[in-house]
Chains A and B, each alone.
Chain A
């Protein structure tokens, strides 16, 4: 790697780390500016230069004044991180052996130069990065796909995004419902049949790769019983197997967390107070214990969502679901830089947004955290 590249990487890392040093006021300002840049890039295509610019400026002012500190600080961290991610990913792809233009047919240097110019893929990673970033912010575009002729990355990913999101959200919901239900029950009756049974199931759920569980479900329900379709995407039945497959390992983790959270909360003094007030056992659990018991589950939701996105790569391939995972894998193997970057950006944004949402939920649930964050 050249000196410039290494220096840029280090500078980027330090920059991202340095966002931790910003004082409250500075963090708000930086966060608002970043938010404005994001909005500008997103609406540029729709509203034109002046429109997007005005909107961004207005939003910036509003954000500095009114938005919660937690959100702004997170944005102040996320945007530089995204830029760093784009740069690092670009570097990684450039360093990998092979390049997009060394196809089956031997290309002469002149042809390759022409292709490079056409797609905006220069020899140096840093130049590519500059071109890419400029296009991203100024035009709000993710660029043309190098391998799929005549299509931009947006055109490729846009139909795939709702698919992946639907699958992911459904899986997450299933995992929560199943995991919390079983886990809380187990925690309320420790060492009972329910407890041992559900924890045994949970252990099995995390002891096998999800595609194995998926394959077994496939064999039983699709090939064997014929209740559900084997692969593809198109209606409610198609969603069931992939979503369940994705959800099961996370349901298992969540069940374990919910169980230990419940056990801990039930030992607390305020549970004794609730009983001393004459509340019935269901009221004690639902009204007093649940909030505290589920806090560890809520903290886990962030990593769980990231994990579900990861696992979805495999599940989408297994069940032939036309989601974003397959675009990333295809792009990585074919060295379609724009597609890879496009999926990276989308994933990163999704995970960051989700983590932010989870942190806000946590603050809402635990008022002590809320006050600490507000300062």
Chain B
């Protein structure tokens, strides 16, 4: 990926949760780029640190224990990590918007949709109540909510799951942000609604050139809409590259294992050829509060583990637009 057309650049970010004893290293040295006008996927299991990473961008890691310890986050060249809370508030909801996993709990159940959307427009765009309302209605219409002038008076519980998520997306788009961070936007929804939401997100990219960082644990979602993918595990990126290539020829045992564990209708079990059975990954992810890692994080669960893996953590090799953090040869991964 060309450095020039990256909207969001995360360089060697470390976000820890500090308490008594060893800190929890939720994000342990992650570098990531979201290109302009593209959907970039960040995939990983729960506990991999992907949500913490997304919260770090907007400085929303819960205090007092959560802190960005080191690293840089740049949005269109501007360093977000050096901004004060006041300045960050101008960015939130305005230049960078975020939507969350469960729209039922992420929307305020006590306020009408009108109130929740309107306040963003009033805050960042200085619109009057009436003008903000009109803009909100317009946006609800754009995200595909039928009869938006009526719906806007509703409370979240009066809408279906899919419509709530659309409303959240509308809320995020009100100020025409450059970057949309979507943290598991489809996880809490039915499969058919999932497809609609993904279509909506793809539409935003195609028609408005929106840049999206899409965080998910679902490989199918990634392959459906993301141009690029980062595979995260235990606070580190293990593999990155164009989605199609990574999924076709994974270059890391973890990615391969993930792909193998996804059921597919059109093949005998397992995406990667050569296996007939759904293979789950044995073992559990490592603890993040045991100090810096001296070995490969995935080694205890890896089929291709060897001596070199336990002596030092592999560095990220970048080649031809793809990256991998593994000492094994790509040919070994079949």
CB atoms of A and B under 8 A apart anywhere in the complex? yes
Nearest-neighbor residue (CB-CB) of B91 within chain A: A278
User: Binding site of A, secondary structure by majority: helix, strand, loop or mixed?
Assistant: helix
The closest CB in chain B to the CB of A277 belongs to: B93
Contact of B109 among A275, A277, A279, A367 (CB under 8 A): A367
Q: Let me know if A278 and B106 touch, CB within 8 A.
A: no
Taking a contact as CB atoms closer than 8 A, the residue among A273, A278, A279, A283 that contacts B100 in the complex is: A273
- Residues 71-105 of B contacting A (Cβ, < 8 Å): 89-94, 97-98, 100, 102, 105
Query: Is A66's CB within 8 Å of the partner chain B?
Result: no
From B29-37, B119-127, B190-198, give the one contacting chain A. B119-127
A278-B120, A367-B110 provided; 8 other pairs, C-beta below 8 A?
Answer: A276-B100, A277-B92, A277-B97, A277-B171, A278-B91, A278-B94, A279-B89, A291-B110
**A13 on the B face (CB < 8 A):** no
Q: Does A270 contact B (CB under 8 A)?
A: yes
Question: Is B107 among interface residues, defined by CB-CB distance under 8 A?
Answer: yes
- Checking B92, B102, B109, B168 against A278 with a beta-carbon cut-off of 8 angstroms, the contacting residue is B92
Question: B100: which A residues are within 8 A, CB to CB?
Answer: 269, 272-273, 276
A365 contacts B by Cβ under 8 Å: yes
The verdict on A278 contacting B110 (CB below 8 Å), with A269-B102, A270-B105 known, is no
Contact for B110 among A273, A277, A366, A371, CB less than 8 A: A366
Q: CA of A270 to CA of B98 in the docked complex: distance in angstroms?
A: 12
Residues of A within 8 A of B155 (CB): 367-368
Asked if B206 is an interface residue, CB under 8 A from chain A, the answer is no
25 sampled A-B residue pairs with Cβ under 8 A: A269-B105, A270-B107, A272-B60, A272-B106, A273-B106, A273-B107, A273-B108, A273-B168, A275-B92, A276-B60, A276-B93, A276-B97, A277-B92, A278-B92, A278-B123, A279-B89, A279-B93, A279-B119, A279-B123, A288-B108, A291-B110, A367-B157, A368-B155, A371-B157, A371-B158
Determine whether B10 belongs to the interface, using a CB cutoff of 8 Å to chain A: no
B52 contacts the other chain (CB 8 A): no
CB-based contact A278/B105 at 8 Å: no
Known: A269-B100, A277-B93, A279-B89. A287 touches B158 (CB 8 A): no
> Within the assembled complex, what's the spacing in Å between the Cα atoms of A275 and B106?
11
Interfacial chain B residues near A292, Cβ < 8 Å: 108-110
Answer yes or no: A123 CB below 8 A from chain B CBs.
no
CB neighbours (8 Å) of B42 from chain A are: none
Number of residues of chain A lying within 8 A (CB) of chain B: 22
Q: Which residues of A from 183 to 221 have beta carbons under 8 Å from B?
A: none
Residue in chain A with minimal CB distance to B89: A278
Which residues of B in the span 146-171 have a Cβ within 8 Å of any Cβ on A? 155, 157-158, 168, 171
Q: Once the chains are docked, how many angstroms separate the CA of A274 from the CA of B100?
A: 11
Point out the residue from B92, B106, B123 that lies within 8 Å of A269, measured CB to CB: B106
Chain B residues whose CB sits within 8 angstroms of the CB of A149 once the complex forms: none
Max chain B C-beta neighbours (<10 A), residue from A276, A287, A291? A276
**CB of A280 closer than 8 Å to a CB of B:** yes
Residue A268, interface by CB 8 Å: yes
Judge if B111 is at the interface, Cβ distance under 8 Å. Answer: yes
| Chain B CB within 10 A, most for which of A273, A277, A287, A291 | A277
Residues of B within 8 A of A291 (CB): 110-111
Q: In whole angstroms, how far apart are the Cα atoms of A283 and B124 in the complex?
A: 14
Contacts of A272 in B (CB 8 A): 60, 100, 106
Complex alpha-carbon distance, A288 and B90, angstroms: 19
6 pairs of A and B residues whose beta carbons are closest in the complex: A278-B92, A277-B93, A278-B93, A269-B105, A270-B108, A291-B110
B271 within 8 A of A: no
Partner of B105, one of A268, A283, A367: A268
CB distance from A188 to the nearest CB of B (A): 13
- Are the C-beta atoms of B89 and A280 separated by less than 8 Å? yes
* Complex CA–CA separation, A250 to B93 (angstroms): 41
Question: What residues of chain B lie closer than 8 Å to A274, measured between beta carbons?
Answer: 108
- Contact indicator B119/A275 (Cβ below 8 Å): no
Decide if B258 is an interface residue (CB 8 Å cutoff).
no
Q: How far, in angstroms, from A277 to B109 measured CA to CA in the complex?
A: 16
Least CB distance from B307 to A in Å reads: 44
Give every chain B residue within 8 A of A288 (Cβ-Cβ): 108, 111
Contact status A277-B123, CB under 8 Å: yes
**Alpha-carbon separation in the docked complex, A366 to B157 (Å):** 11
Cα distance, A279 to B120, chains bound together (Å): 8
